[in-house]
Chains A and B, each alone.
Chain A
Amino acid sequence: MRGFRWMVVAWLASFGAMSGAGAQTVEIEYWQYVFDARIKAMDELIKRFQAANPTIKVKHTTFPYADYQTKIAAAMPAGQGPDVVQLFYGWLDNFVAAKFIQPLPHDTFPPAMIEKDFYPIVGAMKRDGEYYGLPTAVRSLGLFYNKNLFKEAGLDPANPPKTLDQFLDAAKKTTKRDASGNLLSEGVTLDFPGQDYHWWREVLLRQMGGTPYSPDNRKVAYDSDAGAKALNYYADLQRVQKVGQVGFMDEGQAAFRAGRAAMTVDGTFRLGSFGGIKTFEWGVTELPAGPDGKRSNFASYWVNAITTRPTGAKLEAAKKFLVYLTSPEAMQVWLDMVGELPARKAVAETEKNLSHPIYAPFLKALAYSQATVFVDEMAQRQVSLDMINRVLIQNQDAKAALAEAAKSEQAILDRFYKK
């Protein structure tokens, strides 16, 4: 009995010691979604951060992508969840409205510094003069091309298309059909659910002289002559030029991987998947310039933000961690381990990166990229898909299709902003 009593005392004492030690180190929790390379890179960053800040411990929690947003939305109102969180830039408005994240403190993240050092697309994180999050890395689009198919068609694989005219010419030369006209290999993949809907909205539309939305993003503006021109240009690739076909090989990226498409528009996030291609050589170049030489691109990114949970010592720790996550060192680690581009100009545009055959075209694009402000990404995407389907499947006139899409998307925007 005596032994037992002492055991209890010892146990209580050790408990006290543990909580005493806990009071000195601050633990903060970091959440992101499951993607192997991102988890490994983040583990590496946390290791380095903790070595430099021994009093801070970062707990790294991940969830499958499909559940990620739901988990955050369920945890936060219950008083749980992360102190620093990774979120897709398109979710910002919802997260701000729900009071999940707080504005970045001006003392550590002065807006002037952000605007000087980061790429202008980060402006999509600004609401009423306050920045709510900062990315470690950004992604942009490029034109991937199959060098073997280029050679076969008598094109110079070292000199990929630079303008839309050259692009169309290359697509025509590389398209292969059998005797009865069935497509065997595409000049360019047509995959609106892939990245083409971004290519249409932020690139082709602007190159034809239009803009997708009003400057405050509250009004749809693509229902215009420029919109019709851009939509017709895209649809004509299948209807008139016949250099591609929606649904060929199921998905654009599958067609390109299988060597059955000479060109495809895709993003930096595809580099890992295309890196495994063994059967042919491929290259990547900037998206073709418009009729008057105008270039544009679509950039997207995940940002790190401080939630409304931490206060006091935890808030200070969260600020320190976010400073590290957006530091040049972290960006280099992210580029090396994940393959995503640094969000700071100085880190991105080093001589080494700018002469890199694969990174260079994506990096150059960041200077003229646009980040669409979404209020309900899935629903807005669906509107675009319906629009192209009306044109390509139901042969609807481009103008009518645009008007219908603009009406549906405006309803989505109105429902969001009236809250």
Chain B
Amino acid sequence: MQLADDGSGGRFWGGLGLRQKQVVWAWAFLAVPILFYALVRFYPTAEAFYIATTNWNLLTKPAFVGLANFERLWDDPVFWKVFRNTVLYLAIGTPVSLLLSFTIAYHLDRVRFMHGFIRALYFLPFLTTAAAMAWVWRWFYQPVPIGFFNDVLVAFGLPQQPFLRSTTQALPAVLAPAIWAGLGFQVVIFLAGLRAIPTTYYEAARIDGVGNLTILRRITLPLLKPTIIFLVVFSSIGFLRIFDQVYNMTSGDPGGPLNATKPLVLMIYQTAFSSFQMGYAAALTVVLFLVLLAVSLMQLRLLRDR
């Protein structure tokens, strides 16, 4: 007995049943990603909450300042401007991109001619680097003689538009390429969702003589609900975290004229890595985290099956 135990690697292991051994093995493998997540995700997240209550500037030892960073944030007009921008990115970006991608997917689903090719065309921007795309669009928006949009306007005898250099047009101008870039992904997901709806439902509806609009409203949309939930949550998080497009399209004056396009993430980046106010940047991060959490939970609740 004693000998057998030693041979199989100790009293503990030998005493386990087959099922228990499987559990141990499973945990042994899971330990790696769990450890990774704990160290790389959860620990820094917890740390951010702590840093938010200090005046750490990367250079000196952090001192506890309580909620001073959050008070400063409350009184900071730039923060509120940036917060408003972030909400606008979300409030315009998500519905517009979903509406567009659903319309495209709905019609593309019925197209047989070159279906794969057209789908690939829509998906292509999703594969492009955001920075490269942002720079191309940045040049599209320039004044004549190099800006494409203004060249077109001038060719039709219309006045030039400032686009990125306007405090009102800049945000939609930055949002357009962001929507365009994510469109392909959403179209593909919608197509998959549409294909998953059994055709028998449609056949039954047709036999009953139901119109196209009713089919869309009563059959397609309700059955697409899981897909819609996924895309709403996914794209909301994306728009709340928008950075690449803004940073690259307005790099001389980051965040556009008078912070017209500056999202929260860019403000966090500048506060942390240009001004080195880590405490204040962490406080902003905590706010972003809470907003992301609240928006995601709210959407899941609203769109949940009753």
Question: Which A residues have a C-beta under 8 Å from some C-beta of B?
Answer: 69-70, 73-74, 76-77, 94-95, 97-98, 100, 180, 182-184, 191-194, 245-251, 260, 376-379, 382, 385-386, 389-390, 393-394
Give B61 Cβ to nearest chain A Cβ, in Å.
Answer: 8
Interface 0/1 of B193-216, CB less than 8 Å to A: 000000000000000000000000
B165 touches A250 (CB 8 A): no
Task: Decide: A376 near B275, CB < 8 A? Known: A249-B142, A385-B253.
Answer: yes
A245 touches B167 (CB 8 A): no
Q: Which of B165, B166, B275 has the most CB of A within 10 A?
A: B275
Q: Which of B60, B142, B145, B166 meets A98, CB within 8 Å? A: B60
A184 to B144, CA, bound (A): 8
The 3 A-B residue pairs whose C-beta atoms are closest, nearest first, are A98-B59, A378-B274, A193-B252
Question: Which B residues have a C-beta under 8 Å from some C-beta of A?
Answer: 57-61, 138-139, 142-146, 154, 157, 160, 162, 164-167, 252-253, 257-259, 270, 273-276
A386 touches B59 (CB 8 A): no
Task: Decide: A73 near B276, CB < 8 A? Known: A182-B160, A389-B258.
Answer: yes
* Cβ–Cβ < 8 Å partners of B257 in chain A: 385, 389, 393
In the complex, 13 of the A-B residue pairs with CB atoms within 8 angstroms, ordered by the A residue number, are A77-B59, A95-B59, A182-B160, A192-B253, A247-B142, A247-B143, A247-B162, A249-B142, A377-B274, A389-B167, A389-B253, A393-B162, A393-B257
Q: Which of B138, B143, B160, B270 meets A378, CB within 8 Å? A: B270
* Cβ–Cβ < 8 Å partners of B57 in chain A: 94, 98
Residue of A nearest to B250 (CB): A193
* Cβ–Cβ < 8 Å partners of B166 in chain A: 393
A187 to B58, CA, bound (A): 45
Residue of A nearest to B271 (CB): A379
A246 to B57, CA, bound (A): 35
* Cβ–Cβ < 8 Å partners of B145 in chain A: 184, 260
A245 to B167, CA, bound (A): 16
A91 to B138, CA, bound (A): 31
* Cβ–Cβ < 8 Å partners of B164 in chain A: 247
- Since A94-B59, A98-B59, A379-B275 are in contact, a sample of 11 more A-B pairs with Cβ atoms closer than 8 Å, ordered by chain A residue number, is A73-B276, A94-B57, A98-B57, A182-B143, A183-B143, A191-B252, A193-B252, A246-B165, A247-B162, A250-B138, A250-B142
Q: Which of A70, A97, A247 has the most CB of B within 10 A?
A: A247
A377 to B273, CA, bound (A): 12
B143 touches A245 (CB 8 A): yes
B273 touches A182 (CB 8 A): no
- B contacts with A: majority SS: loop
Task: Decide: A97 near B59, CB < 8 A? Known: A247-B143, A249-B146, A250-B146.
Answer: yes
Q: Which of B59, B157, B165, B276 has the most CB of A within 10 A?
A: B59
A393 to B165, CA, bound (A): 8
Q: Which of A183, A193, A376, A393 has the most CB of B within 10 A?
A: A393
A183 touches B144 (CB 8 A): yes
* Cβ–Cβ < 8 Å partners of A95 in chain B: 59
B253 touches A193 (CB 8 A): yes
* Cβ–Cβ < 8 Å partners of A247 in chain B: 142-143, 162, 164-165
A110 to B227, CA, bound (A): 73
Give A395 Cβ to nearest chain B Cβ, in Å.
Answer: 12
Give B70 Cβ to nearest chain A Cβ, in Å.
Answer: 16
B165 touches A73 (CB 8 A): no
* Cβ–Cβ < 8 Å partners of A245 in chain B: 143
B59 touches A248 (CB 8 A): no
A376 to B274, CA, bound (A): 8
A100 to B57, CA, bound (A): 13
Give A73 Cβ to nearest chain B Cβ, in Å.
Answer: 4
B275 touches A378 (CB 8 A): yes
A69 to B275, CA, bound (A): 11
Task: Decide: A70 near B258, CB < 8 A? Known: A182-B160, A393-B166.
Answer: no
* Cβ–Cβ < 8 Å partners of A382 in chain B: 253
* Cβ–Cβ < 8 Å partners of B252 in chain A: 191, 193-194, 251
A394 to B165, CA, bound (A): 11
A100 to B276, CA, bound (A): 15
A127 to B258, CA, bound (A): 34
* Cβ–Cβ < 8 Å partners of A98 in chain B: 57, 59-60
* Cβ–Cβ < 8 Å partners of B157 in chain A: 180
A65 to B154, CA, bound (A): 40
* Cβ–Cβ < 8 Å partners of A73 in chain B: 58-59, 276
Give A194 Cβ to nearest chain B Cβ, in Å.
Answer: 8
A260 to B145, CA, bound (A): 10
A11 to B138, CA, bound (A): 61
B258 touches A393 (CB 8 A): yes
Residue of B nearest to A386 (CB): B258
A97 to B276, CA, bound (A): 13
B60 touches A97 (CB 8 A): yes
Q: Which of A69, A70, A183, A250 has the most CB of B within 10 A?
A: A250
Give A62 Cβ to nearest chain B Cβ, in Å.
Answer: 19
Residue of B nearest to A412 (CB): B275
* Cβ–Cβ < 8 Å partners of A386 in chain B: 258-259
Give B258 Cβ to nearest chain A Cβ, in Å.
Answer: 5
Give B268 Cβ to nearest chain A Cβ, in Å.
Answer: 14
B59 touches A100 (CB 8 A): yes
A274 to B299, CA, bound (A): 54
* Cβ–Cβ < 8 Å partners of A94 in chain B: 57, 59, 276
Give B63 Cβ to nearest chain A Cβ, in Å.
Answer: 10
Give B243 Cβ to nearest chain A Cβ, in Å.
Answer: 14
A73 to B138, CA, bound (A): 34
Q: Which of B144, B160, B257 has the most CB of A within 10 A?
A: B257
* Cβ–Cβ < 8 Å partners of B258 in chain A: 386, 389-390, 393-394
* Cβ–Cβ < 8 Å partners of B275 in chain A: 376, 378-379
Residue of B nearest to A251 (CB): B252
A192 to B274, CA, bound (A): 19
Give B165 Cβ to nearest chain A Cβ, in Å.
Answer: 5
* Cβ–Cβ < 8 Å partners of A182 in chain B: 143-144, 154, 160
Give A349 Cβ to nearest chain B Cβ, in Å.
Answer: 35
Give A238 Cβ to nearest chain B Cβ, in Å.
Answer: 12
A182 to B58, CA, bound (A): 48
Residue of A nearest to B256 (CB): A389
* Cβ–Cβ < 8 Å partners of B139 in chain A: 250
Residue of B nearest to A192 (CB): B253
B253 touches A248 (CB 8 A): no
* Cβ–Cβ < 8 Å partners of A390 in chain B: 258
B167 touches A394 (CB 8 A): yes
* Cβ–Cβ < 8 Å partners of B165 in chain A: 246-247, 393
* Cβ–Cβ < 8 Å partners of A393 in chain B: 162, 165-167, 257-258
